Amino acid sequence: MYADLIIKNAREVVTPKGKNDRPAAGSAMSELEVIPGGFVASRGDKIVAVGPSSALGDIETDTQTKVIDAAQGVVIPGLVDPHTHLLFAGGREDEFHMRIDGLGYMEIGRRGGGIGRTVRETRAVGRKGLAERGIAHMWMMALQGTTTVEIKSGYGLSTESEMEMLSVIREISGVSPMGVVSTFLGAHAVPAEFKGQADAFIDLVVEDMLPKVVKSGLATFCDVFCEDGAFTVEQSRRVLAKAAELGMPLKIHGEELANSGGVRLAAELKAVSVDHCNFVSQDDLGLLKKAGTIAVALPATPFFLLAPRYAPARGIIEAGVPLAIATDYNPTASISSMLFVMFLSCLNMKMTPSEVLVAATINAAHALKKAADVGSLEVGKDMDALIMRVDDFRKIPFYVGRSIIDSVVCKGRVVS
Ligand code: ZN
């Protein structure tokens, strides 16, 4: 078969395999195929062959075929980041110093910072300025090895502004090399104009925003921030039940700062994923397993917020709940690198290098309902691959902070 791009001379090609129908859970989270001396070949944006170098002779090439020598590096699938807030204007770098001085996340919000501040800055910047910032953030992430990214709205918080955010996500996904999945997060925070009237704001989300979002086709998922200080379980249920009724798959920000019922709601509504899970209980995990909901851990957030409570990855894996990981990149937590998140997951959540690679690829793809296309190096899937300057994939999380990405290939396009 013909290939127009070949990555060859790898020390090893390492990928999840045969996990496209359902996410890996339990011991399957440690299963990876390791092909010593492997290659990956593609035509257009799709992989046409993966195998040992002895099979390279079966691949047809011509003068148009680009051959990349992996120089004995390790080839892995492009990383999938299933939870980001990368589209925003302004910055909240100063809140970093406020946290160092001991202020909590919710207290910073009460003092005029937090999500409310980003909403003001995002509404003010205009469509063009927002798109420029979004594209810059996406390129920054692509160069760090992320080839598929989820982007949430949620800094507009009016019907018009939320629709504009979703429309900008559509626009920038067309000019970026990455794959993009868009999520409507209208219930991210109560905007200033609804202060003290959270229920009235939820009415707006349910009755006005959601029907318009669905009609536009601009968002795949619907998400809510279910937490004390954000929205109650009852308010979150209203939004998600309406979204489900309109045919949208669901996500929930749950159990980030306390056990407030978000995980149980995710199980009840059979959400695709529940994200954060820092305070998930053992009983909750049984419910998640039954519901088939994926837990997405976001270890960069407690790390950055100086709130050292991480999702209990070992308990999640032992309970048989599939686990994915993501950056939660947002204006107040600047970690945009999935490699750094893989490192944190090993160090602070006691995951193994195999588990973090599965969590950052095929399970993350399942959390976006994209596992048929991305998350592993298998024939027929998108040619999203990284060449890593290491001789063993288990060293990838270890070399945190070191520049070990040799090359990033996104949909068959060499982007670095
Ligand atoms: Zn988030």
pLDDT tens-digit series, residues 91-122:
888 888 888 888 887 788 888 888 889 999 99
Tokens 């798959």: give the residue: 249
What separation, in Å, do the N-terminal and C-terminal C-alpha atoms of the chain show?
26
pLDDT tens-digit series, residues 305-338:
777 799 999 999 999 999 999 999 999 888 999 9
Residue 109: its pLDDT value, please?
Answer: 82
CA distance 387 to 70: 6
**Cα(296) to centroid of ligand 1, in Å?**
10
Q: ∠ at Cα 56 (53, 59), nearest 5°? A: 165
Core vs surface per residue 357-373: b (16+ CB within 10 A) or e: bbbbbbbbbbbbebbeb
The strand pairing partners of 181, in sequence order, are: 150
| Residue 239 near residue 187 (C-beta atoms within 8 A) | yes
Helices (H) and strands (E) in the chain, counts: 14, 18
**Cα(1) to centroid of ligand 1, in Å?**
43
Q: Supply the pTM of this predicted model.
A: 0.97
**Cα(252) to centroid of ligand 1, in Å?**
9
Which residues are CB-neighbours of 226 under 8 A, at least 6 positions away? 232, 233, 236, 252, 253, 254, 260, 261, 262, 265
CA distance 107 to 89: 22
**Cα(270) to centroid of ligand 1, in Å?**
19
**Cα(295) to centroid of ligand 1, in Å?**
13
Cα four-point dihedral sign 131, 135, 138, 144: negative
**Cα(299) to centroid of ligand 1, in Å?**
11
Two structure tokens written together for 359: 């969590």
**Cα(68) to centroid of ligand 1, in Å?**
36
- The parts of the chain modelled with pLDDT lower than 50 are none
Residue 332: its pLDDT value, please?
Answer: 87
**Cα(253) to centroid of ligand 1, in Å?**
6
Residue 125: its pLDDT value, please?
Answer: 94
Question: Which amino acid, one-letter code, is at 157?
Answer: L
Two structure tokens written together for 222: 């619907």
CA distance 313 to 295: 9
**Cα(83) to centroid of ligand 1, in Å?**
6
Q: Is 311 exposed, middle or buried (0-12, 13-18, 19+ CB in 10 A)?
A: buried
**Cα(290) to centroid of ligand 1, in Å?**
24
Two structure tokens written together for 289: 């397993």
CA distance 210 to 191: 17
Q: How far, in Å, are 30, 72, 80, 298 from residue 356 at the CA level?
A: 9, 22, 12, 12
Which residues are CB-neighbours of 279 under 8 A, at least 6 positions away? 255, 256, 257, 258, 259, 260, 309
**Cα(224) to centroid of ligand 1, in Å?**
9
Residue 331: its pLDDT value, please?
Answer: 92
**Cα(313) to centroid of ligand 1, in Å?**
18
